[in-house]
């Protein structure tokens, strides 16, 4: 299973559009996001800190990282069930649907990562035991640690601000790109 944000989709454009819509300089928004990452805090606090309402902003289909769709295709081609889930909206589910076997969003599931219920829901949706599920994400606090606690194979992709600032626990697999993922999983 893949966490959508920063793992598959480059969030730069989405954040730039959000800054523009909120009337905040892009550099200011990115700086505050970086500070939140360094402090290990949720990115959602950025709007309160900046004193603006959160604007609507979604990823676009042309914002996938170059290694994302080829990785999904390789894994599916090897007979694996591949999904994309995250703290996202239904619109993101629709964008991902053609590329994966399962989609899920915090909006539809009514639970957000890192809650254990999010990962439990994933196990139910897939119908596999937790130890047969690899959860791939960029955030140690939101993706890697809760996946390990749920009994999954946790894979940390080192991209995005949180991934460069936080070290994964010893039990996690770490890759620098999705090109490395099939080998790291032994498939």
For the chain, domain boundaries: 2-9+61-185, 12-50
Q: Which has the minimum average pLDDT: 90-99, 121-130, 143-152?
A: 90-99
- Cis bond leading into 114, ω under 30°? yes
- Strands of 102-105's sheet in order across: 102-105, 83-86, 2-3, 134-137, 153-157, 173-175
pTM of the model: 0.88
Beta carbons of 93 and 103 less than 8 angstroms apart:
yes
Domain 2-9+61-185 belongs to what topology? Answer: Rossmann fold (3.40.50)
Instruction: Report pLDDT digits (tens) over 134-184.
Output: 999 998 999 999 999 999 999 999 998 778 888 999 999 999 999 999 999
């Amino acid at each position: 299973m893949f966490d959508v944000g920063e793992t598959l989709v480059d969030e730069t454009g989405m954040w730039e559009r959000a800054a523009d819509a909120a009337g905040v300089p892009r550099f200011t928004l990115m700086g505050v996001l970086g500070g939140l990452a360094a402090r290990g805090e949720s990115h959602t606090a950025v709007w309160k800190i900046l004193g603006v309402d959160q604007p609507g902003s979604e990823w676009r289909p042309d914002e996938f990282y170059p290694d994302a769709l080829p990785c999904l295709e390789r894994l599916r081609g090897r007979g694996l069930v591949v999904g994309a889930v995250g703290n996202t909206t239904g619109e993101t589910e629709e964008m991902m649907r053609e590329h994966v076997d399962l989609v899920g969003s915090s909006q539809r599931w009514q639970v957000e990562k890192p809650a254990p219920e999010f990962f439990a829901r994933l196990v139910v949706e897939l119908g596999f035991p937790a130890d047969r599920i690899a959860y791939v994400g960029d955030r140690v606090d939101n993706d890697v640690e809760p996946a390990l606690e749920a009994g999954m194979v946790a894979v940390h992709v080192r991209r995005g601000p949180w991934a460069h600032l936080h070290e994964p626990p010893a039990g996690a697999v770490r890759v620098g790109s999705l090109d490395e993922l099939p080998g790291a999983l032994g498939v």
